């Protein structure tokens, strides 16, 4: 054969290996070959399990999805290209045959608010906010608005509120409202929402699960009731994660529990140290006995595992003071994101909560003097030393 032909065919499409590699290979193929047209016919007709096209399923994605289903104790998982597209696809799937109304926790990731209003709102989705930490008010909101879905985060951003998931799930069940939980901040090490009655769990795996700040990703894990719809719509809409990202995410997850334990220890030590610092006005950490959700935290989170985030206010600090403080940090990485191996700092006032109306910010308790830290896995003495010199 001529070189032009060999360039296209040689080396590829070898027989599947009979030995099992210790890690899942990255399958970059867009499509698969079958033994015969009859076999392809059976696979297309879903009479036989097999691979046809990577928008439907891919072996590297399958491996990641099986892993996450196991961690979240769910029925099935879809790996998506980002946390945001996972949220969008999950909402589209559960609202297919339900009222197109979402009751959204007031304390929620900024881009989620924009997704609900600027993207899905344009297609007729109605969204209202509720305080998921006030069960009586939440019950009233559910009755008045009759949403198809309630969307909340396990640990909220940036004030780290924790809702009473089993109680909220019971309120939703009684009304045939789907409970969707963004579990990004907690990870399945701290909380597995499906075990508490949630129907759908979404992750931005960009954060703790991948953990190294090198890949975007989202995950949708559901009960049996919703998995088929999530899959069926995904085969058409194709929000899927690429095979390289699946590999990186799976590699990251292997150490996520170790990292998360260390990040929880470090954020706890940081919170303790900050509380005694004369420049600090207030510390927000789920370990604080004065935390407004202390009883729920005590019941739902494992002892000592309160998450890797800590937020705090600097006494009398306005925007220029916070800028100066953050500019003085040397070790701490100042970038948007969280959950990475390195400690990160973010100023909600100009970033995540920039577009939140002032009155709503005041109601949420997000003040100009508030900064948010994501503890990394460094030696905590070094993190403290950096923050100390910057204060």
Ligand X SMILES: *Cc1c(COP(=O)(O)O)cnc(C)c1O
Task: Give the catalytic positions in this structure.
Answer: 55, 109, 182, 207
The whole-angstrom separation of Cα 231 and Cα 178 is: 17
- Residue 57 CB, shortest distance to ligand X, in Å, is 21
Closest residue to bound ligand X by CB: 83
- Residue 84 CB, shortest distance to ligand X, in Å, is 4
Q: In the structure encoding, which two tokens stand for residue 301, read together? A: 């989170």
- Residue 317 CB, shortest distance to ligand X, in Å, is 24
User: Is 207 a binder of ligand X (CB under 6 A)?
Assistant: yes
Q: Which one of the spans 24-32, 180-188, 254-262, 278-286 is the region binding ligand X (CB under 6 A)? A: 180-188
Q: What is the distance of C-alpha 98 from the center of its chain? A: 24
Nearer to ligand X, 60 or 154 (CB): 154
User: Is 60 a binder of ligand X (CB under 6 A)?
Assistant: no
User: Is 206 a binder of ligand X (CB under 6 A)?
Assistant: yes
- Residue 207 CB, shortest distance to ligand X, in Å, is 6
Nearer to ligand X, 185 or 312 (CB): 185
Beta-carbon contacts of residue 39 (< 8 Å; ≥ 6 apart):
48, 50
User: Could you please report the per-residue DSSP string of 97-121?
Assistant: TS-SEEEEESS--HHHHHIIIIISG
Please state, in angstroms and as integers, the Cα–Cα distance from residue 102 to each residue in 69, 79, 152, 328, following that order: 25, 23, 10, 42
Q: Which one of the spans 61-69, 80-88, 117-125, 272-280 is the region binding ligand X (CB under 6 A)? A: 80-88
Report H helices in the chain. 3-9, 37-44, 59-72, 83-94, 110-114, 135-145, 165-173, 187-190, 224-237, 243-253, 256-275, 294-300, 319-328, 358-364, 380-390
User: Could you please report the per-residue DSSP string of 125-153?
Assistant: -EEEEE-TT-HHHHHHHHHHH--SEEEEE
Q: Which one of the spans 77-85, 173-181, 239-247, 326-334 is the region binding ligand X (CB under 6 A)? A: 77-85
User: Is 204 a binder of ligand X (CB under 6 A)?
Assistant: yes
Q: Which residue in the set 65, 72, 153, 313 belongs to the binding site for ligand X (CB under 6 A)?
A: 153
Q: Which one of the spans 33-41, 144-152, 204-212, 309-317 is the region binding ligand X (CB under 6 A)? A: 204-212
Of the candidates 385, 266, 386, the one whose C-alpha atom is nearest the C-alpha of residue 327 is 386
Q: Which residue in the set 54, 58, 82, 177 belongs to the binding site for ligand X (CB under 6 A)?
A: 82
Cβ atoms of 233 and 89 within 8 Å: the answer is yes
Q: Which residue in the set 107, 164, 182, 245 belongs to the binding site for ligand X (CB under 6 A)?
A: 182
User: Is 218 a binder of ligand X (CB under 6 A)?
Assistant: yes
Q: Which residue in the set 184, 234, 343, 369 belongs to the binding site for ligand X (CB under 6 A)?
A: 184
Cβ atoms of 169 and 180 within 8 Å: the answer is no
User: Could you please report the per-residue DSSP string of 255-304?
Assistant: THHHHHHHHHHHHHHHHHHHHT-TTEEEEE-TT-TT-TTHHHHHHHSPTT
The whole-angstrom separation of Cα 275 and Cα 135 is: 30
- Residue 137 CB, shortest distance to ligand X, in Å, is 23
- Residue 183 CB, shortest distance to ligand X, in Å, is 9
**Tell me, what DSSP letter sits at residue 162?**
B
User: Is 221 a binder of ligand X (CB under 6 A)?
Assistant: no
Q: Which one of the spans 45-53, 107-115, 137-145, 321-329 is the region binding ligand X (CB under 6 A)? A: 107-115
- Residue 32 CB, shortest distance to ligand X, in Å, is 28
User: Is 84 a binder of ligand X (CB under 6 A)?
Assistant: yes
Q: Which residue in the set 32, 56, 109, 312 belongs to the binding site for ligand X (CB under 6 A)?
A: 109
Beta-carbon contacts of residue 343 (< 8 Å; ≥ 6 apart):
266, 331, 332, 333, 373, 374, 375, 376, 378, 383
User: Is 83 a binder of ligand X (CB under 6 A)?
Assistant: yes
Which residues here bind ligand X, judged by CB under 6 A? 82-84, 109, 111-112, 153, 157, 182, 184-185, 204, 206-207, 216, 218
């Amino acid at each position: 054969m001529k070189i032009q032909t060999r360039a296209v065919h040689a080396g590829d499409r070898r027989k599947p290996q009979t030995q099992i590699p210790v890690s899942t290979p990255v399958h970059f193929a867009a499509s698969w070959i079958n033994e015969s047209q009859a076999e392809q016919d059976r696979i297309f007709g879903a009479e036989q399990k097999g691979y046809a096209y990577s928008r439907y399923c891919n072996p590297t994605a399958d491996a990641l999805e099986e892993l996450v289903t196991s961690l979240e104790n769910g029925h099935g998982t879809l790996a998506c290209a980002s946390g945001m597209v996972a949220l969008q696809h999950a909402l589209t799937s559960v609202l297919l045959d339900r009222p197109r109304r979402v009751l959204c926790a007031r304390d929620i990731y900024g881009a989620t608010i924009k997704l609900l209003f600027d993207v899905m709102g344009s297609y007729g989705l109605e969204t209202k906010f509720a305080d998921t930490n006030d069960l009586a008010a939440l019950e009233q909101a559910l009755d008045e608005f009759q949403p198809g879905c309630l969307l909340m985060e396990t640990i909220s951003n940036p004030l780290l509120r924790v809702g009473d998931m089993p109680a909220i799930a019971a309120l939703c069940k009684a009304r045939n409202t789907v409970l969707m939980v963004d579990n990004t901040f907690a990870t399945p090490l701290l909380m597995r929402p499906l075990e508490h009655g949630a129907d759908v769990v979404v992750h931005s795996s960009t954060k703790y699960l991948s953990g190294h700040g090198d890949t975007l990703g989202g995950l949708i894990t559901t009960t049996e009731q919703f998995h088929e719809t999530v899959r069926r719509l995904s085969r058409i809409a194709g929000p899927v994660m690429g095979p390289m990202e699946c590999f990186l995410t799976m590699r990251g997850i292997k150490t996520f529990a170790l990292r998360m334990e260390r990040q929880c220890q470090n954020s706890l030590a940081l919170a303790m140290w900050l509380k005694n610092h004369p420049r600090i006005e207030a510390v927000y950490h789920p370990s604080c006995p004065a935390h407004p959700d202390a009883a729920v935290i005590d019941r739902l989170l494992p002892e000592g595992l309160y998450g890797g985030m800590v937020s705090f206010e600097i006494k009398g600090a306005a925007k220029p003071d916070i800028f100066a403080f953050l500019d003085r940090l040397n070790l701490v990485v100042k970038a948007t994101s969280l959950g990475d191996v390195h400690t990160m700092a973010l100023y909600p006032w100009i970033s995540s909560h920039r577009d939140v109306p002032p009155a709503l910010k005041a109601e949420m308790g997000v003040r100009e003097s508030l900064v948010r830290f994501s503890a990394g896995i460094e030696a905590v003495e070094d993190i403290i030393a950096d923050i100390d010199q910057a204060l």
